[in-house]
């Protein structure tokens, strides 16, 4: 287990470019299995989860040509289906949540799929019911293997149908969609997730020859086709990383420009950080955050304490709530953070309280932050990163704190943030990987 030693209290300055989006990458890279032709993918984030998924594809027989750290050619013309029932696949696949999405394409193209016990963040109950029910509706048979803890699916040709997803699951929608593009006839997926990740996947699949309409809505209509061809795809900037940089700038009184932020794809994110009182200038596709000694959290129009909560897109993403919470610590005013989707994502607040933050954890889903308005600084402590976004939030807290902090288990941060130590050190931070 590696750690970050962080000397806090330094103001950062300069320009940073966001990485390609992690959660988009996991879908897009899985989709290369849908064709035997070459697929070229650009702006791939160089992070643990994505690299693991690429390794899995390679072990399945996909030809992978890494042209540079962020560009890769894939050709899935000779797949070893037996690998999917191997221990190696189960072990590697269960290290990340994203491996779930190999199932949709495999079922569509080879009538067979295995889902190992999914990994990813331990942030509360994370069901896969949406995936299973969706595949069953398309005609797949499902079997749970109690010995390997694997979900196994077989089909004799998927058939299009109407389905209402039980919840707008992001990975569930991606998986069912990738299965439906090669199914016979028409599939309608209602209550579909429509995050930019899904929109990007739909656009990529259409370029490969799929017939998907309703993109960016919660009703996707898919006319099945016989086969898909190759394409080139460029990943969007990672909106979660962008939100993290906005929060970081405010907390550390830094002036930062986020270059090529893909502003039109950020939805409600800038507005929510604006509600914390953070000033931002939108210059072309860049976001400039000026140095701010004070920022004041808005109240609701009737004077009530502001609440920020998560919701499926176009609502506010749950992946930024930990960042919003940490950013409110040095604001003037109070904020209620309501994490509706995941029941274990707010427990990391005990570390922030140890650092001197004024936070009341009301219950597993809600925390109230009483802003310090810089009356005093947080103090550096030793802490462990419980999940990817809490890890980044703790890093922001440590960078704003007085003294030295030690953040352990930074593999959690590395899962989703590319060389974050080097990139922030280039702006004047002091983060040592040990
Ligand atoms: C690899 C990947 O893409 N991961 C993202 C994806 O995970 P993932 O696709 O696994 O998350 P889901 O969208 O399936 O949602 C996870 C859980 O949230 C709950 N739920 C979901 C939808 C809903 O409307 N109400 C609700 O309560 C369910 O308990 C569900 O089990 O979407 C999550 C929700 O945006 C993000 O946090 C994850 O970063
Ligand atoms: C929860 C997340 O990731 P995963 O679904 O891969 O665990 C996340 O990206 O915030």
Closest-lying ligand to the alpha carbon of 167? Answer: 1
Q: Would you say the CB of residue 168 lies under 6 angstroms from ligand 1? A: yes
Quick check: helix, strand or coil at residue 354?
helix
Mean local confidence (pLDDT), 15-21: 98
- Confidence band for 410, pLDDT divided at 50, 70 and 90: very high
Burial tier of 77 (Cβ tally within 10 Å: 0-12, 13-18, 19+): exposed
- The rounded Å distance from CA 336 to ligand 2 centre is 23
Instruction: Please identify which of the residues 49, 77, 121, 373 carries the catalytic annotation.
Output: 121
- For the chain, what is the mean pLDDT? 96
Residue 266 is encoded by which pair of tokens?
């950020």
- The rounded Å distance from CA 125 to ligand 1 centre is 10
Closest-lying ligand to the alpha carbon of 393? Answer: 2
- Known binding-site positions: 22-23, 97, 319, 341
Name the nearest CA neighbour of 271 among 305, 246, 304: 246
Higher pLDDT, 120 or 247: 247
Q: Which residue has the tokens 């943030």?
A: 417
**For position 106, what pLDDT does the model report?**
97
Ligand 1: residue whose CA is nearest its atom 27: 341
Contact 101, 131 (CB under 8 A): no
Burial tier of 19 (Cβ tally within 10 Å: 0-12, 13-18, 19+): buried
- Looking at residue 19, the DSSP 8-state letter turns out to be P
- Confidence band for 389, pLDDT divided at 50, 70 and 90: very high
Nearest ligand 2 atom to the CA of 342 is 1
Name the nearest CA neighbour of 290 among 336, 258, 324, 262: 258
Name the nearest CA neighbour of 99 among 53, 144, 131, 64: 53
Mean local confidence (pLDDT), 209-231: 98
- The rounded Å distance from CA 173 to ligand 1 centre is 10
Name the nearest CA neighbour of 245 among 207, 179, 289: 289
**For position 124, what pLDDT does the model report?**
82
Contact 23, 427 (CB under 8 A): no
Distance CA(360)–CA(233), nearest Å, equals 44
Pocket-testing residue among 20, 26, 170, ligand 1, by greatest number of atoms within 8 A of Cβ? 170
Lowest mean pLDDT among 53-57, 95-99, 161-165, 343-347: 95-99
Q: Would you say the CB of residue 277 lies under 6 angstroms from ligand 1? A: no
User: What number does CATH give the domain 22-234?
Assistant: 3.65.10.10
- Give the largest Cα separation in the chain, rounded: 66
- The rounded Å distance from CA 352 to ligand 2 centre is 21
**For position 17, what pLDDT does the model report?**
98
pLDDT of 120 > 80? The answer is: no
DSSP per-residue string spanning 247-305: HHHHHTT-EEEE-S--GGG-TTHHHHHHHTT---EEETTEEEE---S--B--B-TTSPB
Q: Which residue has the tokens 């050709």?
A: 75
ipTM: 0.97
Distance CA(235)–CA(299), nearest Å, equals 36
Contact 273, 263 (CB under 8 A): no
Q: Would you say the CB of residue 121 lies under 6 angstroms from ligand 2? A: yes
**For position 117, what pLDDT does the model report?**
83
Contact 42, 70 (CB under 8 A): yes
Lowest mean pLDDT among 83-92, 163-172, 220-229, 257-266: 83-92
Protein fold of 3-19+237-433: UDP-n-acetylglucosamine1-carboxyvinyl-transferase; Chain (3.65.10)
Burial tier of 197 (Cβ tally within 10 Å: 0-12, 13-18, 19+): buried
Mean local confidence (pLDDT), 142-146: 93
Contact 198, 212 (CB under 8 A): no
- Known binding-site positions for phosphoenolpyruvate: 22-23
Mean local confidence (pLDDT), 378-382: 98
pLDDT of 393 > 90? The answer is: yes
- The rounded Å distance from CA 123 to ligand 2 centre is 9
Mean local confidence (pLDDT), 367-387: 97
Reported pTM: 0.97
pLDDT of 121 > 80? The answer is: no
Q: Would you say the CB of residue 416 lies under 6 angstroms from ligand 2? A: yes
Residue 121 bears catalytic tag: yes
Question: Under 8 Å CB-to-CB from 65, ≥6 apart: which residues?
Answer: 72, 73, 74
Name the nearest CA neighbour of 237 among 70, 396, 68, 40: 70
**For position 268, what pLDDT does the model report?**
98
Domain with CATH 3.65.10.10 in the chain: 3-19+237-433, 22-234
Question: Under 8 Å CB-to-CB from 397, ≥6 apart: which residues?
Answer: 251, 326, 329, 351, 352, 355, 357, 378, 405
């Amino acid at each position: 287990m590696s750690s970050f030693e962080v000397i806090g209290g330094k103001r950062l300055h300069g320009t940073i470019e966001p990485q390609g989006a992690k959660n988009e990458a996991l879908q897009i890279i899985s989709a290369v299995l849908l064709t035997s032709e070459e697929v070229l993918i650009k702006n791939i984030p160089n992070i643990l989860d994505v690299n693991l998924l690429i390794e899995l594809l390679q072990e399945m027989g996909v030809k992978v040509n890494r042209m540079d750290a962020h560009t890769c050619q894939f050709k899935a013309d000779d797949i070893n289906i037996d690998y999917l029932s191997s221990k190696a696949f189960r072990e590697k696949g269960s290290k990340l949540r994203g491996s779930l999405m190999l199932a949709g394409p495999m079922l569509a193209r080879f009538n067979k799929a295995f889902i190992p016990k999914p990994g990813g963040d331990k942030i509360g109950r994370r069901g896969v019911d949406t995936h299973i029910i969706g595949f069953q509706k398309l005609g797949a048979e499902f079997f749970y293997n109690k010995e390997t803890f694997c979900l196994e699916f077989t089909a004799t040709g998927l058939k299009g149908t109407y389905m209402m997803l039980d919840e707008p699951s992001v990975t569930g929608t991606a998986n069912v969609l990738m299965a439906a593009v090669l199914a016979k006839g028409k599939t309608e997926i209602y209550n579909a997730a429509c995050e930019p990740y899904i929109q990007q996947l739909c656009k990529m699949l259409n370029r490969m020859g799929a017939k998907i309409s309703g993109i960016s809505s919660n009703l996707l209509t898919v006319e099945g086709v016989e086969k898909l061809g190759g394409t080139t795809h460029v990943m969007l900037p990672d909106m979660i990383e962008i939100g993290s940089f906005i929060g970081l700038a405010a907390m550390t009184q830094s002036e930062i420009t986020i270059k090529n932020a893909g502003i039109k794809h950020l939805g409600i994110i800038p507005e929510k950080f604006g509600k914390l009182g953070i000033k931002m200038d939108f210059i072309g596709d860049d976001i400039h955050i000026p140095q701010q000694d004070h920022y004041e959290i808005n109240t609701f129009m009737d004077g009530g304490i502001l609440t920020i909560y998560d919701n499926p897109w176009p609502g506010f993403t749950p992946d930024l709530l930990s960042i919003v919470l940490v950013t409110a610590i040095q604001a003037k005013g109070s904020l209620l953070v309501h994490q509706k989707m995941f029941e274990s994502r707010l427990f990391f607040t005990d570390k922030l309280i140890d650092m001197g933050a004024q936070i009341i954890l009301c219950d597993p889903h809600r925390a109230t932050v009483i802003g310090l308005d810089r009356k005093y600084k947080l103090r550096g402590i030793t802490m462990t990163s419980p999940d990817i976004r809490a890890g980044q939030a703790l890093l922001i807290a440590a960078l704003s704190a007085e003294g030295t902090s030690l953040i352990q288990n930074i593999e959690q941060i590395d899962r989703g943030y590319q060389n974050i130590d080097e990139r922030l050190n280039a702006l004047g931070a002091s983060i040592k990987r040990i």
